[in-house]
Chains A and B, each alone.
Chain A
Amino acid sequence: MTNSLGLREGIGTRAASFNEREMQICTVARMVEDGKTYWVAGGGSPMYAALLGIRLYAPSAQYITEDGVIAPEPMLPFEPVMTMVSSRAGYRALAWGTMNTAGNHAQVGLMDYGILNTLQVDQHGNINSTAIGEYGSGARRFGGPGGADSIAALCWRTILMTDQEKRKFVERVDFISSPGFLDGTEGARERVGLPPDTGPFRVVTPCAMYDYGDPVAHRKLRLVARAPWVSVDDVLEECEFLPVVADDVAVLDSPTEEELEILRTELDPRGQNTGERGTWVIYDADSGEYTRAG
């Protein structure tokens, strides 16, 4: 069963303790739709969210990666960082190609969703993974867009995963590495050659979810849901800019034991991505209360 945000109820029993990174992954996993294709950024939360979603909620959803792996049944867990061009990651795929395979398949419209992690996002969903500070010798240099630019430009809908921190949620990113709605004006993406009807769909942080208005009226982030242990004001505190706030901000459900079992024992048993990252949250089933540790 899905609600108006496209979120399912989690399968199973609410877990008694989890961290916010796990919350974020489970939230995205519950959005995965049957029969749709996902181009996931290699490694980390986007891939775990897609795998968890396919495993528990949408068995006929498929994913591809930038090295041209199409619909694999990967052998888990991956070796550290070996989420592309590795035999475990590409195991039992339906087809193997190259990077241009992935790009071309997205360019003809075969990719329904992209899932991306990002360093910094702005009010129009633009993504920075290149440099923090004034571009040039004054900036701190990061790795560049990699495949994210193509994912953000070519998939029909893009889901972004990022942290809910003031310095990461900014009015205008220091550098647009991958496109959101650019300056937010109507037709901005099409004017620079990007395919129509594509673009940002949701932003999911460890304690909140945003869309861009429904229908996409503002092309500006709109807070639509929050985790049960934070208030709307708590979330807004951690934004450099003031996003639109939906009239009725929904409350996200917390991870279940079943989700965490798969995440912790099959997908990320070394806790590389989920173990030490993020604040821990305790759930008391008797009182229904959540307590954020630290």
Chain B
Amino acid sequence: MNVIAEGKAPYLAVDPDGFRAHVREHKQRALTPRLMTAAEAVSRYVAEGDYFAYDCNYFQRGPSTLIREVIRQQKKDLWLCGKFTYVDIGLLAGAGCASKVDCGFFWPGAAVDNRVKDGRLEVYEYSNIVMTLRLQAGAMGLPFLPVRSFGGTDGFEHSGCKLVEDPYTGKPITIVPALNPDVSIIHVQQADVFGNARVFGTGISHEDCALASKKVIVSAEEIVDTEEIRRDPGRTSIPYYAVDAVVHAPMGAWPGNCGGYYGSDTPAVIEAFGAISRDAVEAYVEKYVTPFASDAEMFEKLVGAERLAKLRENETIKDGYRA
């Protein structure tokens, strides 16, 4: 294939055969329970230097409990998959956990800006959909996929994408490198102990994220019986054999929302924005993460049952959520 132009940024090595070999060796095809605590899952499956993906974000059905656990355990030098993200990049970078980010979008602010300026955080440029397409290629076991956007941007120059001559039409087309993250964390409404997971409502890239990643931690609002999964198999978004660990994490997307379960906690959302804007992530972490052994303890001692109940009450819409 004739390469017309290519971006100059480093990108995670593309290795579909290596990924297949990993899957063959490590993904559990037996129906074995994999329920564990957030602390155990993060300790076992997130390693220093990992390419780290999360689906949705800290405010929108994202794996916020798991992100706080990653910060609690001070996993270092992560390379972040920054698609459709608000404060997550600023939080993880500000807490000293990230050194690189593939950027689709993130909420800007001093926490990110300062680290980019002094070189603690390297940013490579993509768009949200280029990132979800990279994950789709990874989830399909392919080395790349073509896309009819992104060409001509300055982001292209600072990415791992290439412009090639399409062998079928002869026209130029952008191709994006497949992404197989070392680890991805995904928050869902329901899962069974084996990892069969149900996402209700829209999403960003949860299915591809799970299929594309070497290690997958799913946190769930509710752990449901496998009989319930079998009763309505069409609702299963992620099948068990893609999943390495299941964590029961009620309010696991707090301070964000979780469709059908609770609305967002507006003052806490604004507080997180503030921490990024003022580069005050350390204080945020000292308030919400380090004093507590787990999110359950943080919810009990800091946020309080009454406030959480109110957030559940605020989520009046049930149509389309829950089975």
Contacts and interface: CB of A to CB of B under 8 A. Distances in A.
Interface string A108-126: 0000000000000000000
B148 A153 contact: yes
Interface in B251-266: 257, 259-260, 263-264, 266
Nearest to A181: B152
Nearest to B203: A98
B257 A146 contact: no
Given A99-B83, A100-B208, A192 B174 contact: yes
Interface residues of A, number: 56
Contacts of B172: 190-193
17 contacts: A66-B128, A79-B266, A85-B201, A86-B257, A103-B132, A103-B133, A107-B147, A107-B148, A144-B125, A145-B104, A145-B105, A145-B128, A147-B128, A150-B128, A179-B153, A182-B152, A194-B148
A92 B320 CA distance: 9
Given A99-B129, A144-B105, A144-B106, A82 B152 contact: no
Nearest to A80: B266
Interface string B131-161: 0110010000000000111111111101000
B133 A100 contact: yes
Interface stretch (A17-25, A135-143, A225-233): A135-143
Given A90-B201, A96-B202, A194 B132 contact: no
A194 B270 CA distance: 38
Interface of B: 5, 56, 59-61, 82-84, 86, 103-108, 112-113, 116-119, 123, 125-130, 132-133, 136, 147-156, 158, 163, 171-174, 201-208, 257, 259-260, 263-264, 266, 269-270, 315, 317, 319-321
A76 B171 CA distance: 45
Contacts of A135: 154, 158
Interface stretch (A157-165, A170-178, A213-221, A256-264): A170-178
Contacts, number: 204
Contacts of B60: 82, 84-86
Given A66-B128, A135-B154, A192-B151, A99 B103 contact: no
A82 B59 CA distance: 8
Given A99-B129, A146-B105, A149-B129, A81 B148 contact: no
A289 to B, nearest CB: 40
A99 B128 contact: yes
Interface of A: 66-69, 75, 79-82, 84-88, 90-92, 96-100, 102-103, 107, 130, 135, 137, 140-150, 152-154, 175-179, 182, 188-195
Given A98-B205, A103-B133, 17 more contacts: A66-B128, A80-B269, A81-B269, A82-B60, A82-B264, A86-B259, A87-B321, A96-B202, A99-B84, A100-B136, A103-B132, A141-B117, A143-B103, A149-B153, A149-B155, A193-B151, A194-B152
B152 A179 contact: yes
B112 to A, nearest CB: 6
A162 B193 CA distance: 49
B128 to A, nearest CB: 5
Contact of A176 (B128, B152, B163, B319): B152
Contacts of B108: 141-143
A100 B123 CA distance: 23
A144 B257 contact: no
B61 A79 contact: no
Contacts of B86: 81
Given A137-B116, A146-B105, A97 B202 contact: yes
B275 to A, nearest CB: 15
A100 B129 contact: yes
A149 to B, nearest CB: 4
A91 B315 CA distance: 12
Contacts of B5: 192
A91 B149 CA distance: 29
Contacts of B56: 85
Contacts of A140: 113
Contacts of B82: 144
Nearest to A90: B202
B174 A67 contact: no
A99 B152 contact: no
Contact of B207 (A67, A75, A98, A102): A98
A153 B161 CA distance: 16
Given A87-B257, A146-B104, A154 B149 contact: yes
B11 to A, nearest CB: 16
A137 B44 CA distance: 36
A145 B153 contact: yes
A193 B173 contact: yes
Nearest to B260: A87
B82 to A, nearest CB: 8
Contacts of A144: 82, 103-106, 125-127, 155
Given A103-B133, A144-B106, A150 B154 contact: no
